[in-house]
Amino acid sequence: MKQGDAPLYQALQNWKKKSVHSFHVPGHKNGTVFPTFAQKEFQRLLQIDATELTGLDDLHDPADAIYKAQQLASDYYKVQATYFLVNGSTVGNLAMILGSCNEGDTVLVQRNAHKSIFHGLELANVKPVFLSPFIDKEAQVAVGLTEETVKEALKAYPNTKAIILSNPNYYGMTVDLTNIINLAHAAYIPVLVDEAHGAHFGYGSPFPVSAALKGADVVVQSAHKTLPAMTMGSFLHFNSKLIRKEKIISYLKMLQSSSPSYPIMASLDLARYYLSQLSKEQVKKIIIQINQFREELNEIESIRVLPASSYYELDPLKVTIQTACELNGFQIQERLEHMGIYTELADPQNVLFVLPLAEISERKQITGKIKEALSNGRLVRRPIVPVEAITHTDYTELVFPYKKLKQFNKKVVSLHEAEGFIAAEAVVPYPPGIPFLMAGEKIKQEHIKRLSAIIKEGIRLQGGEYIQQQKIYVYDYKGE
Amino acid sequence: MKQGDAPLYQALQNWKKKSVHSFHVPGHKNGTVFPTFAQKEFQRLLQIDATELTGLDDLHDPADAIYKAQQLASDYYKVQATYFLVNGSTVGNLAMILGSCNEGDTVLVQRNAHKSIFHGLELANVKPVFLSPFIDKEAQVAVGLTEETVKEALKAYPNTKAIILSNPNYYGMTVDLTNIINLAHAAYIPVLVDEAHGAHFGYGSPFPVSAALKGADVVVQSAHKTLPAMTMGSFLHFNSKLIRKEKIISYLKMLQSSSPSYPIMASLDLARYYLSQLSKEQVKKIIIQINQFREELNEIESIRVLPASSYYELDPLKVTIQTACELNGFQIQERLEHMGIYTELADPQNVLFVLPLAEISERKQITGKIKEALSNGRLVRRPIVPVEAITHTDYTELVFPYKKLKQFNKKVVSLHEAEGFIAAEAVVPYPPGIPFLMAGEKIKQEHIKRLSAIIKEGIRLQGGEYIQQQKIYVYDYKGE
């Protein structure tokens, strides 16, 4: 087996040739039973939407094609073991936490984490201490933890059992974790990293270095985000001397479908293949194109391209444009969509482009369209007025353990009367999926003010059935 | 909206027309960035492998196309609410249990359940009481619970908080749950049903009636098993006055990818469409064909088709052939695969065919091939010798609660010295995925004897890293 192979994809090809008559699940019978009008999209793929048949191995007990495909991935990423995930980085984060922590453990958690990290903490019934990241003033975006923050927290919580980090952030801002990992390992504390946005970091320069190569114990990557895997295809990399991989595996078996999708698994094999086969020459061309793209965007008066910072490394595949006119980020995004240009996310200030790991086809035409969308008489350049940053105290703990919280009843109250209550739901602007309030956290006046503003600005919120009506679920308990 | 619509599929079509340039995840950029040799299978589908973009709604907060698609499904299945699942019936079973039970609750559980049910019990930290199903003597297969078993158990465990059933079994044997559900509801106990193999039961006659229509509180169905959904596509139907759907929803949000697969969700929309559009005339033709298929198979001397029984209703889509010669089920399955005929599962006696919910194309040729594969001079008919059935006492409890079990260390011991230990892993012949031993159960001489036989017979086993070497993980604790 070499990196130029794709053993799982190949196994499906071999099986497809042999399997003429399907008397097994799935019910679409290799794509032959399906609504006729939809066959044009589905039929070819359904021919490999197989199940655990002879020659196709078993994700939950891999010994053949899936074993080989995972082996090639772990070789490529230089880790002890790689596991294919079919339920996204969500299940990777859950299994990473449940598999590394025990009930009641104190764990340090970077606050601007994806909600799946918070769900993992709750399912594991650990005692989280949330650490505040530093904020990039230009983008008004939370980045990562400083070494200082972690050092102080380890002093304050000497009983810490794990550190859970999220890096890079959604905008590709990547903190060097070397020192934090060394600090933790000196105290025999494992470091778990949600690296969802960094599946291509395995390539090395010119991309940032993966946390796995910096010594992190477990690293979860969304192969579907920056590599050409199907949505829900992710990797969990295990590279630890401090934790047992068997416990993580047991949670992956529990939390992932017992009928995992073969197209998604094959696309993970192909994503690793794609990355491993990218020549230095091709990557050089990609980077040249990205720089041209950035320059062309910077020529547009009503926006500016967010520059790099000395505080972090910027992933070249992420390009953020910031408004410099009366349009907010959402309005800019909407104008681009009218031109057929769909971006990853908007916030009040910014619009994020996730670039392909390939040359941008029709780059000139695209930047021309963007120029057209954002250049008309009314759009005058104006100075950036920094919005008020969300501030947190350095450490936040839950008011009560998750288990005690579960015993309270929940009720809905108006935001304006929510002060002092404990939030009973996470409120998550999505994307980027970072909880603004978490279940278990006390609601302060500052939260209410900011949340009202978020709702008025029309930011998409997950959770919070009544949140658009300025109402929130709280536990029926009001502290002193 | 009417059943002849497919709103989510349609939304993806509309979006595809508008989205020309992708600067968002997934990294395959609407299928344009992908290994060239694999594009023939993937490209068309990747054009709708989208994410939460404008017009495409959000599974975790549905308000538009996904909301409508789920609404059409709940209308069709005549339930209060239907939720699309992208992580298989596995996640449905987990959320159903976690969302309906509290830690320490006594729950009655049908023993021949899928492993995801047992995982759900463990994650929820409930106190399970396992109830033995009756065995079909002809097929040597576990079917379902009798009303008597449940009645006695409710007397023995008056504090029961939920009953968890699995119906139909893998072979399509379907028990009428009406009386069991009525018994439970009379005591205000909710009934949760894993109906993974019965997604087509929503159609009604000539198929068995869905547990949802019999009054079950939550019903989980694998739409990918008998309907034309992609693998991992399932439904969770909620239809209860006894439990709160909000808690189930919150677990679905926790346990499913925050980037759910649009092709899988669209295929659920299309699966409901397909079922709703099947005319009585078409179904009549399907049933006629199935009967012809059964008759043609019955003409083969070396096998016989498993007949219906008076103890249960048989799903017409499941046809089980039983060996009547010196070949075992696995050998029959292998011979059929050489002919390009792939079946669902084999056990020592039986081979299971899962038929399409459509006319069988080339039926005559297929039965001809089966005849050819199984008819040669050496294959003489012989009488069925029933194998020893797995017996269990009526009720089995765990030796210790899940939490206490977790505190023990695990070790590997040889099967022949495992008697009296508590199993630390489930041993699951797969398919059909029914645990033979569960973590937490005491290992008896009978288990060892039978497990050795299973391994020798070459039945595929999940779990049990060392089980093929006749070794098993046990807790490092030996009781009296």
- Which of A5, A226, A230 best tests the B interface by mutation, with the highest count of B CBs <10 A? A230
| pLDDT tens-digit map of A346-360 | 988 899 999 999 999
Work out the percent of chain A whose per-residue pLDDT is above 90: 75
The pLDDT tens digits of the residues spanning B252-282 come to: 999 999 999 999 999 999 999 999 999 999 9
For A123-143, the pLDDT digits (tens) are: 999 999 999 888 887 887 889
Which candidate from A27, A264, A403 shows the least CB-CB separation from B226?
A27
Interfacial B residues in 2-61 facing A (CB < 8 Å): 6, 9, 18-29, 32-35, 38, 40-42, 44-54, 58, 60-61
Strands A428-429 and A461-462: antiparallel
Average pLDDT over residues A380-392: 53
The mean pLDDT of chain A is 91
Q: Which of B10, B12, B28 to mutate to test the interface with A (most CBs of A within 10 A)?
A: B28
Q: What's the gap between Cα B201 and its chain centre?
A: 14
User: What is the model's pLDDT at position A124?
Assistant: 96
Q: What is the rounded average pLDDT for all residues in chain B?
A: 91
Q: Between chains, do B340 and A462 touch, taking CB under 8 Å as contact?
A: no
Say how far residue B442 (Cα) sits from the centre of its chain.
Answer: 26
Residue from B15, B24, B91 to probe the interface with A (highest A Cβ count within 10 Å)? B24
Position with higher pLDDT, B394 vs A207: A207
User: Among all residues of chain B, which has the CA nearest to that of A345?
Assistant: B24
pLDDT value, residue B426: 80
Q: Residue A91's pLDDT band (boundaries 50, 70, 90)?
A: very high
Q: What confidence score (pLDDT) does residue A349 get? A: 85
Each residue's pLDDT tens digit, A27-55: 999 999 999 999 999 999 999 999 999 89
Whole-prediction pTM value? Answer: 0.94
Average pLDDT over residues A301-329: 92
Rounded distance, CA B400 to CA B127, Å?
A: 9
Residue located via tokens 């993937």: B42
CA distance A336 to chain B (A): 10
Task: Label residue B391 by pLDDT band (50, 70, 90).
Answer: very low
DSSP string, A248-303: HHHHHHHHS-SS--HHHHHHHHHHHHHHHT--HHHHHHHHHHHHHHHHHHHT-TTE
pLDDT in the model for residue A466? 86
Residues B176-229 have pLDDT tens digits of 999 999 999 999 999 999 999 999 999 999 999 999 999 999 999 999 999 999
Q: How far apart are CA B314 and CA B173, in angstroms?
A: 5
**Around Cβ B343, how many Cβ atoms within 10 Å?**
24
**Structure tokens, B78:** 């005549």
The residue ranking higher by pLDDT, B157 or A115, is B157
> What band does B382 get if pLDDT is binned at 50, 70 and 90?
low
pLDDT at B168: 97
Q: Which of A307-316, B332-341, B386-395 comes out lowest in average pLDDT?
A: B386-395
* Interatomic CA distance for residues B400 and A472, integer angstroms: 40
Chain B residues in contact with A272 (beta carbon < 8 A): none
pLDDT of residue A379: 65
Residues in contact with A209: Cβ distance below 8 Å, sequence separation at least 6, in sequence order:
A176, A201
Statement: residue A264 has pLDDT above 60: yes
Helices A262-276 & B39-46 angle (0-180, nearest 10): 110
- Contact A215/B at CB under 8 A: no
Q: Is B364 on the interface with A (CB under 8 A)?
A: no
Nearest Cα to Cα of residue B440 among B465, B407, B393:
B407
Q: Do A274 and B34 touch (CB under 8 A)?
A: yes
pLDDT in tens, A146-165: 999 999 999 999 999 999 99
Distance CA A33, CA B229 (A): 10
State the nearest Cα–Cα gap between B178 and chain A, in angstroms: 27
Give the pLDDT score at B220.
98
Under the banding of pLDDT at 50, 70 and 90, the label for residue B384 is low
Kindly list the distances between the CA atom of residue B401 and the CA atoms of B125, B162, B163, B404, in Å, as whole numbers in the listed order.
Answer: 7, 17, 18, 5
Calculate how close chain B gets to A357, using CA atoms only, in Å: 7
Residue of A43, A119, A122, A254 to mutate, interface with B, max B Cβ within 10 Å: A254
Measure the CA–CA gap between B108 and B150, rounded to whole angstroms.
8
- How many angstroms away from the CA of A152 is the closest CA of chain B? 31
Q: What pLDDT band is residue A58 in, cutting at 50, 70 and 90?
A: very high
* A228: nearest CB among B27, B256, B462: B27
What is the longest distance spanned by two Cα atoms in chain B?
Answer: 70
Q: Is the pLDDT of residue B392 over 50?
A: no
When pLDDT is averaged across residues B156-170 and rounded to a whole number, the result is 97
Residue A430 confidence (pLDDT) above 60? no
Q: Rounded distance, CA B458 to CA B461, Å?
A: 9
ipTM field = 0.94
The minimal CB distance from A433 to the residues B258, B356, B362 is found for B258
Q: Which residues of B touch A305 (CB under 8 A)?
A: none
User: For position A153, what pLDDT does the model report?
Assistant: 95
Q: What is the mean pLDDT of residues B53-79?
A: 96
Which percentage of chain B shows pLDDT scores above 70?
A: 93
Buried/exposed A381-402: b ≥16 CB within 10 Å, e otherwise: eeeeeeeeebebeebbebbbbb
User: What is the amino acid identity at position B167?
Assistant: N
Q: What is the pLDDT of residues B31-55, one digit of tens each?
A: 999 999 999 999 999 999 999 998 9
Structure tokens at A407: 């015993």
- Position A348 scores a pLDDT of 80
Residues A187-243: tens digit of each pLDDT: 999 999 999 999 999 999 999 999 999 999 999 999 999 999 999 999 999 999 999
B387, two tokens: 């194998």
Share of chain A above pLDDT 70, in %: 93
